[in-house]
Structure 1
Amino acid sequence: MAGRLRDGPRGPPNSSADSAGGLKTTRMPRQPEPHRESEDTAESLQELPRWMRLYFYGMHGVTLDVLLSSVQGVLNDRDPKLVGFSSPYLCIMHSLTHFALEKIYSQKRCFRGRPVVFHLVFYPSVYIGLQILIGNINTLTEQVRVISGTQLAVHYILALYFAHVFHRGLSRLQYHTSCPAADLQSKPGPAQSAPARGPLHSLPGFVRFLFFGMHGLLDEVVFTSIFNLVEKSDRSLSGHTSLWSFLMYGSCSFVVEKLYLYLRFSRGWGTLWRLPIYICFIYTWEFSCGLVLRQFDACSWDYSHYPHNFMGLITLLYLPGWVCLSLYQDVLSNVLLRIKCTKDVTDLSGENGEVNGQVESNKKIL
């Protein structure tokens, strides 16, 4: 066709041949396609679903319960086991309380020009009031428990943490709704950019470690509370765990997730082939960590009275539980693959309460 256009008769500039050639040159760049890709990416990204936020809030609240109670135990008894306490009931209360605090934090835009009033007065006051309510909800009909000055200071510090770190970090997370987990895993590194956002990345390793560590504490609190209910008829559903378990679950689950991603997406192994490797690694990790902690009298578990135990550190009696947790670990890994982290370009001005307003205006413009 190029030869025919070159050797053919030359007409005026507005001839059909030249106009056809002009049309072809305008079609070559194809610029609308990247715009369509960004629109598709924006449509597939949304804020974290409500159920996911409630799940995370409860898990985070249980972790704070265990942290504070274990620190109190260390100060009072010098116990190196770092045992802390919480309950499924408190997990539900933390989910609802954090959800309410999320709504309170969204009112930051009403304090434009007065960020100090919001961060240092309004939000901490609401947070402390909710924490006092949770602490007295069991005994509200009998007597109101007055918190000490130390507890008040701790609650105020936690309120600052929630206002300056927790909510801001959570607002940077986006959730993929349409892209399969296999496609997300096959594209490591920055993803497409969404409107008014920076480049999207997978969750950093330390965030995944924190998530798995908090989830491990929740698992142990729920398990021990059910055990106390069945064996001791403890209807308070009080459970316990150790801060050392946070490190153990966080590191173990982090490695198991790497095994899952490699064995499933790179090697194509099915669940039945992956499970034995998970179980062997979990038992090895539990035994190794327990052996090290026992040297410092910090090991919080002893299976010597259980059948099929080895040195009191591992037992086959818990094999069904580890199998269930391993299968659930795959589910959690697929969910975490869909979560992307970005730094909002408007988040730096969040101190003056304009984050929500600017994001909403960007959405309207788009």
Structure 2
Amino acid sequence: MASQWREDPRIRSREHAVSLKTAAEPRQQEPSENTGESLRELPRWMHLYLYSMHGVTLDVLLSSLQGVVTNRDPKLVGFSSPYLCIMHALTHFALEKIYSQKKCFQGRPVVFHLVFYPSVYIGLQILIGNINTLTEQVRVVSGTQLVVHYILALYFSQVFHRGLAHLQYHPDCRCADLLRSLSGPDRPPSCGLPGFVRFIFFGMHGFLDEVLFTSLFNLVENSDRTLSGHTSLWSFLMYGSCSFVVEKLYFHLHFGRGWGTWQRLPIYICFIYTWEFCWGLVLRQFDACSWDYSHYPHNFMGLITLLYLPGWVVLSLYQDVLSNVLLRIRIPQTSMPWFPCSSALCSVDSHETSSCKLCHESPIRS
């Protein structure tokens, strides 16, 4: 009996040490209590989606800045196309695979980051430019373009790929569980995307939406088979802020008040039209408004038109889908401690109940 009592403290000590070791391990490898699933890397389709948006954003940014330098146009109009969107998705996916081979350059990180990766990036961008022109002449790249491509290559290797590698995804996690963990008193081992990242995502998605829409419009109206689309740098701020507010409305109305899709949709549409009108009214004062609907039926001051109502309805419904996808993306605090936890993402009252019909889940209860 005495021997047994002497061994108990050691057993308890070992068990305590094991529990501490287990608690110290990365939480993303442990199964989630609510979903039975572990945190995983972002799926391949999401990588391609982000690469296409990011590529279109760079196209619009560079072309609009070039227009400012040459024409001093305050509208800040930039160009891209669905062809370039696909090419950006594929080439950046290849660059991701090349970036994953940096372990072969152990001991020589300068060679990889400053020589090898930029060379591959510049070569692929020159290839994309020549494919896009579809001419027999090889497109000559100027020294300024080489410098810009080199700076972008450093950005991708030092910032973009690193940040994307840290993001993790809940494949089957319920919205209610995610919102509860983000707004709960205990700090979760991983947090949702912070507000400024969501704003940037929505701004880039606005670029993608406008480029796709204008390219299809040019195809139908002008038979333009190049599918050239355009947008404005001002649209980044307009779409980013509008979608950010609509997402807050979605969280509050759906999870906080339990409103269905068709109850929320009129509020979305009224806010979108008001937002577009206000932005257009301000930009028009500086001759920076890039759209004019005066020749369309059912327009008001040429800034908004009911002709685009079906498009806004589709985008509003798709907005809720995007918000649910972004809720499933997490950033481990151990890997990116400089990102603040977005615990204020959800404004659901702890005394209210709601259910997520999109995820077919049980209500949120306090």
With normalisation by structure 2, the TM-score equals 0.82
For 2:89, which of 88, 95, 117 is the aligned residue? 95
For 1:116, which of 93, 110, 114 is the aligned residue? 110
Match of 1:358 in 2: none
How does 1:1-366 map onto structure 2 within 5 Å?
A: 39-41=30-32, 43-138=37-132, 142-188=136-182, 199-342=189-332, 345=335
Whether the aligned pair in 2 keeps the contact of 1:172 and 1:344 (CA below 8 Å) is no
CA distance in 1, matches of 2:262, 2:133: 49
Whether the aligned pair in 1 keeps the contact of 2:37 and 2:173 (CA below 8 Å) is no
What fraction of aligned residue pairs are identical, expressed as a percent?
76
Distance apart, 1:13 and its partner CA: 7.1
Distance apart, 1:240 and its partner CA: 0.3
CA distance in 2, matches of 1:225, 1:155: 26
Task: Look up the equivalent residue of 1:162 and give its one-letter code.
Answer: F
Distance apart, 1:178 and its partner CA: 2.6
- Structure 1 residue matching 2:237: 3-state secondary structure: helix
Task: Look up the equivalent residue of 1:212 and give its one-letter code.
Answer: F
Distance apart, 1:291 and its partner CA: 0.5
CA distance in 2, matches of 1:345, 1:217: 30
Unaligned ranges ≥5, structure 2: 339-366
Whether the aligned pair in 2 keeps the contact of 1:47 and 1:173 (CA below 8 Å) is yes
Task: Look up the equivalent residue of 1:116 and give its one-letter code.
Answer: V
Distance apart, 1:137 and its partner CA: 1.6
Task: Look up the equivalent residue of 1:157 and give its one-letter code.
Answer: I
Unaligned ranges ≥5, structure 1: 1-11, 194-198, 349-366
CA distance in 1, matches of 2:51, 2:332: 20
Alignment coverage as a number of residue pairs: 324
- Structure 1 residue matching 2:296: 3-state secondary structure: coil
Match of 1:355 in 2: none
Q: 1:304 to 1:342 in 2, by over 3 A?
A: same
- Max Rg structure: 1
CA distance in 1, matches of 2:132, 2:193: 38
CA distance in 2, matches of 1:141, 1:314: 39
Distance apart, 1:71 and its partner CA: 0.1
Distance apart, 1:307 and its partner CA: 1.1
State the Cα RMSD in Å. 2.9
CA distance in 2, matches of 1:120, 1:233: 44
Distance apart, 1:143 and its partner CA: 1.7
Distance apart, 1:186 and its partner CA: 2.3
Task: Look up the equivalent residue of 1:93 and give its one-letter code.
Answer: M
Distance apart, 1:64 and its partner CA: 0.2
CA distance in 2, matches of 1:113, 1:347: 26
Task: Look up the equivalent residue of 1:102 and give its one-letter code.
Answer: E
Listed one character per residue, the Cα deviations across residues 316-352 of structure 1 (whole Å, up to 9, x for unaligned) are: 111111010000000000000000012554999xxxx
Listed one character per residue, the Cα deviations across residues 288-331 of structure 1 (whole Å, up to 9, x for unaligned) are: 11111001000000111111111111111111110100000000
